[in-house]
Amino acid sequence: MFDVRCPMLDTSLRDHRARGVDTEPFEYRTSNIEYRISNIGHRATIMNTHTAPYDPVFTGETRQRLDRVLERYPTKRAALLPALWMVQETRGWISDAAMTEVAEVLELTPAYVKGVVTFYTMYHQHPVGKHFIQVCTTTPCNLCGAEEVVRALLKHTGCRELGATSPDGKYTVTEVECLGACGFATPIMVGEDFLEGVTAEKVPEVLKRYQ
Amino acid sequence: MGYPHQPHAKETVVLSQYFGDPEARTYQGWVKRGGYAALRTALARKPAEIVEIVKESGLRGRGGAGFPTGLKWSFMPKEKSKPHYLCCNADESEPGTFKDREIMRWTPHGLIEACAIAQYAIQAEVTYIYIRGEFTEPLAIMQRALDEAYREGVLGANAMGTGKRLDMYLHRGAGAYICGEETALMNSIEGRRGNPRIRPPFPAAVGVFGMPTTINNVETLAAVPHILNRGAAWYKSLCLSNPKSTGTKLFSVCGHVRRPGNYEVTMGFPLKDLLYDLCGGMRGGRTLKACIPGGSSVPILNREETESCLLDYEGCATQGTMLGSGGVIVFDDSADMVYQIMRLARFYAHESCAQCTQCREGTAWVTKILQRILAGDGHQKDLDLLLDLSEQMTGKTICVLSDSCAAPVVSGIRKFRQEFEAYLTGARRPAGAGVAV
Ligand SMILES: Cc1cc2nc3c(=O)[nH]c(=O)nc-3n(C[C@H](O)[C@H](O)[C@H](O)COP(=O)(O)O)c2cc1C
Ligand code: FES
At B228-261, the pLDDT tens digits run 999 999 999 999 999 999 999 999 999 999 999 9
Residue where one domain finishes, among candidates A75, A91, A119: A119
A169 within domain boundaries? yes
Integer Cα distance of A194 and B337 in angstroms: 29
Q: Which domain CATH number covers A159?
A: 3.40.30.10
Cβ-based burial of B287 (10 A; exposed 0-12, middle 13-18, buried ≥19): exposed
Would the pLDDT of A15 be above 60? Answer: no
pLDDT of residue A35: 35
Same domain, B103 and B175: yes
Number of independent structural domains in chain B: 3
At A189-206, the pLDDT tens digits run 999 999 999 999 999 999
Which has the closest alpha carbon to B359: B399, B393, B398? B393
Strand segments, DSSP code E, in B76-125 are 85-90
For B353, the closest chain A residue by CA position comes to: A119
Same domain, B99 and B191: yes
pLDDT of residue A190: 96
At B82-102, the pLDDT tens digits run 999 999 999 999 999 999 999
At B5-14, the pLDDT tens digits run 888 899 999 9
Please give the DSSP secondary-structure letter assigned to residue A74: S
Domain of residue A155: give its range: 131-208
> What value does the mean pLDDT take over residues B349-372?
96
Same domain, A68 and A46: no
Q: Is the CB of A111 under 6 A from ligand 2?
A: no
Would the pLDDT of B105 be above 60? Answer: yes
pLDDT of residue A12: 36
Q: Is the CB of A138 under 6 A from ligand 2?
A: yes
Same domain, B345 and B384: yes
Integer Cα distance of B261 and B64 in angstroms: 19
pLDDT of residue A53: 86
A126 within domain boundaries? no
Domain of residue B294: give its range: 238-332
Please give the DSSP secondary-structure letter assigned to residue B225: H
Q: How many CA atoms lie within 13 A of B413 on its CB side?
A: 22
Same domain, B293 and B348: no
Which residues make Cβ contacts (< 8 Å) with residue B53, sequence separation at least 6? B70, B227, B228, B231, B232
B5 within domain boundaries? no
pLDDT of residue A24: 41
Instruction: Say if residues A25 and A44 touch (Cβ distance below 8 Å).
Output: yes
At B289-333, the pLDDT tens digits run 999 999 999 999 999 999 999 999 999 999 999 999 999 999 999
At A83-125, the pLDDT tens digits run 999 999 999 999 999 999 999 999 999 999 999 999 999 999 9
More confident residue, B60 or A18: B60
State the pTM of this model: 0.91
Q: What is the mean pLDDT of chain B?
A: 95
Would the pLDDT of B149 be above 90? Answer: yes
Q: Is the CB of A198 under 6 A from ligand 2?
A: no
Q: Which domain CATH number covers A91?
A: 1.10.10.1590
Please give the DSSP secondary-structure letter assigned to residue B276: I
Q: State the Rg of chain A over Cα.
A: 19
pLDDT of residue B146: 98
Same domain, A115 and A181: no
B6 within domain boundaries? no
Q: What is the mean pLDDT of chain A?
A: 81
B139 within domain boundaries? yes
A124 within domain boundaries? no
Residue where one domain finishes, among candidates B190, B207, B236: B236
Same domain, A139 and A198: yes
Q: Kindly compute the dihedral angle of the four CA atoms of residues B339, B386, B292, B248, in this order, to the nearest 10 degrees.
A: -150
pLDDT bracket for residue B4 (50, 70, 90) = confident
pLDDT of residue A51: 59
pLDDT bracket for residue B272 (50, 70, 90) = very high
Contact flag B177-A9 (C-beta cutoff 8 Å): no
For A142, the closest chain B residue by CA position comes to: B340
Would the pLDDT of A47 be above 70? Answer: no
Residue B212's alpha-carbon distances to B60, B91, B407, in angstroms, are 20, 21, 32
Q: How many CB atoms lie within 10 A of CB B95?
A: 30
Instruction: Say if residues B295 and B327 touch (Cβ distance below 8 Å).
Output: yes
Which residues make Cβ contacts (< 8 Å) with residue B274, sequence separation at least 6? B251, B253, B263, B265, B311, B328
Strand segments, DSSP code E, in A78-144 are 131-136
- Report the amino acid identity of residue A98: A
Q: How many residues can be counted in chain B? A: 437
Number of independent structural domains in chain A: 3
Contact flag A120-B175 (C-beta cutoff 8 Å): yes
pLDDT of residue B2: 60
Same domain, B220 and B316: no
Would the pLDDT of A43 be above 50? Answer: no
The residue to mutate among A182, A188, A199, having the most atoms of ligand 2 within 8 angstroms of its beta carbon, is A182
> Closest ligand to B95 CA?
2
Please give the DSSP secondary-structure letter assigned to residue A154: H
Would the pLDDT of B393 be above 90? Answer: yes
Residue where one domain finishes, among candidates B332, B366, B382: B332
pLDDT of residue B1: 56
Of A106, A116, A192, nearest to B136 by CB-CB distance is A192
**ipTM of the prediction:** 0.93
Would the pLDDT of A19 be above 70? Answer: no
> Closest ligand to B348 CA?
1
Please give the DSSP secondary-structure letter assigned to residue A188: E
Same domain, B316 and B359: no
Instruction: Say if residues B435 and A162 touch (Cβ distance below 8 Å).
Output: yes
Lowest mean pLDDT among B167-176, B295-304, B425-434: B425-434
B418 within domain boundaries? yes
Q: Which residues of B touch A138 (CB under 8 A)?
A: 95, 296, 343-344, 347
